[in-house]
Amino acid sequence: MDDFYDPAWPPGTVRLQQLFDNESKDAEIILQPRPTDNPNDPLNWPKWSKIINLGLASFYAMVVYAFFNATGPTWGPMGDELHFSSATLLNTYAIGCATLALGAPMLIPFALKYGSRPVYVFSSLAQFAISIWAARTQSAGDW
């Protein structure tokens, strides 16, 4: 039987390390996915670039989370101050969730055609503009 494949494994499973013997410290590392010669391949990026990319992606995810989920506790004071009905706030939340759910499948073709950087920049600028607009809201009509 091949040491790299076990029929009980789910399809797509890859063994990352095969030890030559149990006592030896020698090991053959099998890189999966295999790095290419392309300098734009993230597997070839320097460590600092990977850390910055992870930080930016994490910050992006945190901002999206804050826009949709962290605003719930502010609905009471916001409704009192801006005279929003609970139906308006719930509809706004539903529109945000629908945009989040439909936005990714709609933006994926653009990312595949033009690259992910323009999509990230566009969506970040859109989030920035929407957050400024939301902060300047004075009435339900503005919302």
Average pLDDT over residues 50-64: 90
pTM of the predicted structure, to 2 decimals: 0.61
Torsions phi, psi for 85 (to 5 deg): -85, 160
pLDDT of 33 > 60? The answer is yes
Domain ranges of the chain: 42-135
pLDDT of 76 > 60? The answer is yes
CB 110 within 8 A of CB 118: yes
pLDDT of the residue at 114: 92
79-128 pLDDT, tens digit each: 888 888 888 888 888 888 898 889 889 989 999 999 888 998 898 898 88
Pick the residue with more confidence: 68 or 2?
A: 68
Query: What's the mean pLDDT when you consider all of the chain?
Result: 81
pLDDT of the residue at 19: 45
Question: What CA–CA distances, in Å, run from 115 to 14, 40, 64, 119, 122?
Answer: 28, 11, 21, 7, 12
